[in-house]
Amino acid sequence: MLPFDATARLVMPEPISVNNLYSNVKGRGRVTTKKYADWKGRAERMLSFQSPLPRFTGPVEITYFVGEKGVGGMDAGNVEKAATDALAAAGVIKDDSRKWLRSVQIIWTPGMRGTVAVIEPAGPSPLATHIVASVRQSGLLEV
């Protein structure tokens, strides 16, 4: 998609905690868990049902609306990684480096199971001088 293209909304499975993505196996190092492999397969199938998928060619911002059903005590910091990697694997976004993924927001959604990813072209980043000027103890930051 080009920077002026519309926002995309994609349905994804309920999140998997980043704590469940990999395990350490003696002699092999970090390996994908069966739970994560299963989640990736579910995410791939769900995304394939929504073909043709959008293809963002520039930097994006993503908001994840995450259903509170079926996630136990998961915190927001554990939600994003697998979902973003699935979007990159499907070719929706370039990758999750800061060059291409400029911001991520998690919004918990009561009464819903699963995730809706809202992807849109990134707007301009704020200027460091504006951020520093807005902080009362700005001497603690470098520009």
pLDDT band at 23 (very low <50, low <70, confident <90, very high): confident
- What is the model's pTM? 0.88
Give the CB-side neighbour count of residue 86, counting CA atoms within 13 A.
31
**23 and 31 Cβ atoms separated by less than 8 Å:** yes
Give tens-digit pLDDT for 48-91: 999 999 999 999 999 999 999 988 888 888 899 999 999 999 99
